[in-house]
Amino acid sequence: MLKFNISKVIFFSVILCIICIFTASVSVNNLNASGNLKSVKKGGDDDKPAEEVFKNIQVLKGIPSGQLKNVMQFMRASLNVNCGFCHVHNDVDHTWDFASDSVEEKNVARKMIDMVKSINTAHFEGNTSVTCFTCHNGSEHPMRTPTLPQHMAEKETIEHPEKLPEVSLLFSNYEKAVNNNKPEELKTKYSKGTVTGMDGKAYPVEIYQQAPNKYLSIVTTPEGKSYKGFDGTTGWMKNNSGVKELSGFGLQQVKDFADFYGDMNLAQKYTDTRFIGTDTANGSNCYVLRCIVDDKVSVRLYFDIQSGMLSRKNVYTKSILGNIPERTDYLNYSGSDLKYPSVMNFYYLDPWSESQRNLTEVKYNVPLDGIDFTMPAK
């Protein structure tokens, strides 16, 4: 955890909220398809400056438009509010006027973003050491006064294992369990089970994957089948509303799902690694590794000390306002020859993107006859 010089951190009791940067003509679907810092589609709208794609950009000029969803969700989560806290919503036809400045909280937020940027520039060498969450900590109004009654803080005790294993040994033992140290021999994968969204409803799902990065999931709901795919270049979804090409966060999410060897070949994927200690994840004691992917993305891997299996993966992506977190929990490893987590929980700043995947069947190197990963015609 970062430790700050408290004399440098200025706490302001103001309302920080979501900035109005979306045009009135942008649909809710387009808002939900905006993305994070990871570059996901060169030459598309994701890489264009936000002010060229959306209207009324005032304090976030120059950031890629594909970052906007997670930047918005970062502010929403920091205050624990919803979009209507700053944006105008029509309750009759359920449309949004994102370009409107009629909500005063939005105008205050612009000033607060400039304030935070100034603090970080003047005191923290431009790093995002102070963020919306630093002061608000999940509350609409920051706390300015300690609560009463006060209690003496308990002395913190930290247990350190006498000897930490080599990083290469952690990777090797895990990879032997999930791919027999021969990931190149695995070419296709079929998974079957259920997927549960934020609403708590579970629906049947079938997932087809082809190495290195093709993916197709088919979820069956009472309204019909919903498809989401990635053909190695283009991400897409299809449901009763039609066919839509994915962008931003939606595209990056399906690319992560499509990475066939992503959680199989960790030693190749993460080369800049170091131990940062031990912690708990999913009720188990874990070794924790920090992995630097590039200057924007870092990852923390949690390996169960007893089983050696990967228990959790946290991904942190830098944004103009702070690190955007993502988390995947791996539970209930199954399989005889090749182990796989039969339960996976996916967590994001946008709670409606969260899901749980429960797998009842997983097969490798099966024929995928008739499976087409390309986007259907619109």
Q: What angle do CA 272, 130, 78 make, to 5 degrees?
A: 95
Length of the chain equals 378
Q: What is the CA radius of gyration of the chain?
A: 22
Which is it for strands 297-304 and 310-318: parallel, antiparallel or unpaired? antiparallel
**Which single residue is written with the structure tokens 């109005």?**
20
- CA separation, residue 4 to residues 8, 125, 134, 224, 295 (Å): 8, 13, 11, 52, 21
Q: What is the pLDDT of residue 150?
A: 86
**Which single residue is written with the structure tokens 């103009």?**
320
Q: What is the pLDDT of residue 71?
A: 86
Cβ pair 96, 83 in contact under 8 A: yes
349: amino acid identity, one letter: L
**Which single residue is written with the structure tokens 């994957």?**
209
pTM: predicted TM-score of the whole model, two decimal places: 0.80
In SS3 terms, the chain reads as: CCCCCCCCCCCCCCCCCCCCCCCCCCCHHHHHCCCCCCCCCCCCHHHCEHHHHCCCCCCCCCCEHHHHHHHHHHHHHHHCCCHHHCCEEECCCCEEECCCCCCHHHHHHHHHHHHHHHHHHHHCCCCCCCCHHHHHCCCCCCCCCCCCCCCCCCCCCCCCCCCCCCHHHHHHHHHHHHHCCCHHHCCEEEEEEEEECCCCCEEEEEEEEECCCEEEEEEEECCEEEEEEECCCCEEEEECCEEEECCHHHHHHHHHHHCCCCCCCHHHHCCCEEEEEEEEECCEEEEEEEEECCCCEEEEEEEECCCCCEEEEEEEEECCCCEEEEEEEEEEEECCCCCEEEEEEEECCCHHHCEEEEEEEEEECCCCCCCCCCCCCC
Buried b (16+ CB within 10 A) or exposed e, 108-145: ebbebbeebbebbeebeeeebbbbbbbbbeeeeebeee
Q: How far apart are the first and last CA of the chain?
A: 47
- CA separation, residue 110 to residues 68, 203, 220 (Å): 15, 41, 43
Report the chain (378 residues): mean pLDDT per 10 consecutive residues: 34 32 30 32 66 80 80 87 83 82 83 89 91 90 87 68 83 93 92 94 97 97 95 96 91 94 92 92 95 94 96 94 94 92 95 93 95 94
Instruction: Give the whole-angstrom CA distance, residue 256 versus residue 322.
Output: 21
Instruction: Give the whole-angstrom CA distance, residue 229 versus residue 251.
Output: 10
Residue 340: φ, ψ to 5°:
-150, 150
Q: What is the pLDDT of residue 91?
A: 84
Cβ pair 340, 334 in contact under 8 A: yes
Q: What is the pLDDT of residue 8?
A: 35
Instruction: Give the whole-angstrom CA distance, residue 367 versus residue 371.
Output: 9
Residue 176: φ, ψ to 5°:
-60, -35
